[in-house]
Amino acid sequence: MAQIIPIKELKNTTKISELCHERQEPVYVTKNGYGDMVLMSIEVFEEMSHKLELYRELAISEKQFKEGKMEDAYASLKKLREKHGI
């Protein structure tokens, strides 16, 4: 379940840092009862960034597939072998 904290709790930075590392997910910060920002550990941020990059690459691949911009794997390997003399 998502962790939600009021902005006034940001005064205790050590506690917030520990919370972000314990939860291994984003911590949502509210201001006057409304969402204001999100905090997370570097590890969680990097994991999310890697997933986002993977999703982008998959979207590109799906688009290329739909547009017929693909080549048979055996033909591609053959071209590479010929190019590099393997």
Confidence category of residue 60, pLDDT binned at 50, 70, 90: very high
- Percent of the chain whose pLDDT exceeds 70: 100
DSSP-derived pairing of the beta strands 3-6 and 27-31: parallel
Question: Based on the structure, what is the number of domains in the chain?
Answer: 2
Domain ranges, residue 21 = 1-40
Query: Which of 10, 25, 40 is where one domain is finished?
Result: 40
In this structure, the answer to whether residues 54 and 72 fall within a common structural domain is yes
Is-contact 17 42, C-beta < 8 A? no
In this structure, the answer to whether residues 56 and 18 fall within a common structural domain is no
The pTM of the whole model exceeds 0.85: no
Confidence category of residue 71, pLDDT binned at 50, 70, 90: confident
DSSP-derived pairing of the beta strands 34-39 and 27-31: antiparallel
Which of these, 15, 12, 19, 20, lies nearest to 44 by C-alpha position? Answer: 20
